[in-house]
Amino acid sequence: MSLPPLASGPDGPTALRPLIDTVLDALRDGSRSRGGPLPEGGPQTVTARITDAVGDILPHDGDPDALRTLVHALAANSADPADPLCTAHLHGPPLATATAADLAASTLNPSLDSWDQAPAASALEALVTRALAHEIGLADALVTTGGTEANQLALLLAREAHGGSVRLVCGANAHHSLPRAAWLLGLPDPVVVPAPAGTLDPAALDEALTHLPRPLLVAATAGTTDAGLIDPLPEIAGLCAAHGARLHIDAAYGGSLVFSERHREKLAGLEAAHTVALDLHKLGWQPIAAGLLAVARPRDLAVLHHHADYLNADDDTEAGHPDLLGRSLRTTRRPDVLKIAVTLKTLGRTGLGALVDQVCARARHLAALVHDHPGFDLYDRPVISTVLFRPTHATDATVADVRRTLLHEGRAVLGRARMDGRLWLKATLLNPHTGPDDLAHLLKLVEGTTPR
């Protein structure tokens, strides 16, 4: 029996080339057979298709056509974030250049837990994290798997900076990962401040900070998952400074506005935070995962230091080998920084800013279509690229049914959000290739599924 080829090494590219062709063909054919943004039929139907395609997942003898079969099945039965009618979540279509870079990362397979496993990747990560941190006015950053890990790290750093205990204060609009992180870290239940218009109320925050015992960590949001709203960051930063509270800003969605000359002013106050969560697999067009936690004071990261002699022996560190264990709570880490670096270098600030401007403009266009349509209600003008709308006079049950009908038929992928006590359809526009005709078609699909 001959041994299967490896992806790296001198013969790796030769072995990969025909396999990549197989993958690309299967992706193309699978996407064509799907024919829309989502496979039709719902969860049970998709499960049955995958089960049939896979058959025996661990056969006695291997199947040489398994790569083609499984990639085709996955493509044919996946939600495609690049389809203009796939707008439900903060799940963006990745750039081709970033995806190609991700292939290189998987092929070389460096592990960022010690320098001798990732000499180039560790140097590249240091360059990229500092550059992105400086872009938002902070000093350094860690690579994370996304906003959830970044928020958890922010609470951990705050807890350790205050001697092992801190109380989280966040808005009712905060991401669910923040109270969950408080629970995971053994912190007291968060104090939840009202967000009556979808953003944290500064007056209510001031009242809370006046009466709560210290130490406190305030978490603000720059880009809520429900409506893409941004808390009044300058006011919140001022209140934190006045009351001696630490400030974390969850900018997992909205952080990429910094690349846009037109929209970066919406993030005024970001530079006043102690920590900021960023997520470039949202409004950054990266393959998952591509998150960061930026920090204002690099010395706060010292609490993450961990010693394992086989990875960061003292004499190796003294000899100049970088100590990578303090750059994450994870040990084995893939070089997610490569795709980010390639994107930054390929597009530059101008190119990334143009993508941000494009999706924000498309959101405004969709909002205008909804506003002018007698059969729909618009929640509000979009702040970033999220539009909430609903059929006029519809009940919440009807709104939910409309969404599920479109999902079941595989015709459109819309999200849902509850604001002002009502259920809304949510379109999050992250595809810069989406055109005005696509948006008009989306509304026609919704209109056609609404009972008259």
What is the DSSP annotation of 90-125? S-PPPPHHHHHHHHHHHHH---TTSGGG-HHHHHHH
d(CA 416, CA 424): 6
pLDDT at 430: 98
**Angle (deg, nearest 10), helices 436-449 and 396-409:** 120
Low-confidence stretches of the chain (pLDDT < 70) are 1, 452
For the beta carbon of residue 314, count every other beta carbon within 10 angstroms: 10
Whether 68 contacts 22, CB under 8 Å: yes
d(CA 102, CA 342): 10
d(CA 72, CA 284): 27
pLDDT at 178: 98
What is the DSSP secondary-structure string of 190-242? PEEEP-TTSS--HHHHHHHHHHSPSPEEEEEEBS-TTT--B--HHHHHHHHHH
Whether 157 contacts 295, CB under 8 Å: yes
pLDDT at 451: 76
- Given the DSSP bridges, would you call strands 275-279 and 246-251 parallel, antiparallel or unpaired? parallel
Q: How many CA atoms lie within 13 A of 79 on its CB side?
A: 20
In the chain, the N- to C-terminal Cα span, in Å, equals 66
d(CA 328, CA 301): 9
pLDDT at 2: 85
Q: Per residue in 236-289, pLDDT tens?
A: 999 999 999 999 999 999 999 999 999 999 999 999 999 999 999 999 999 999
Instruction: Give 297: exposed, middle or buried? Use CB within 10 Å, 0-12, 13-18, 19+.
Output: middle
pLDDT at 396: 98
pLDDT at 382: 98
CA 312 to chain centre: 31
For the beta carbon of residue 244, count every other beta carbon within 10 angstroms: 10
d(CA 337, CA 133): 14
Neighbouring residues of 424: CB distance < 8 A, sequence distance ≥ 6: 379, 388, 389, 390, 399, 416, 417, 418
d(CA 173, CA 297): 27
pLDDT at 72: 98
Neighbouring residues of 221: CB distance < 8 A, sequence distance ≥ 6: 171, 173, 174, 175, 199, 200, 229, 230, 231, 249, 250, 251
On the question of a cis peptide bond just before residue 287, with omega within 30 degrees of 0, the verdict is: no
| Strand ordering across the sheet containing 140-144 | 140-144, 291-295, 275-279, 246-251, 216-221, 167-171, 191-193
Whether 125 contacts 143, CB under 8 Å: yes
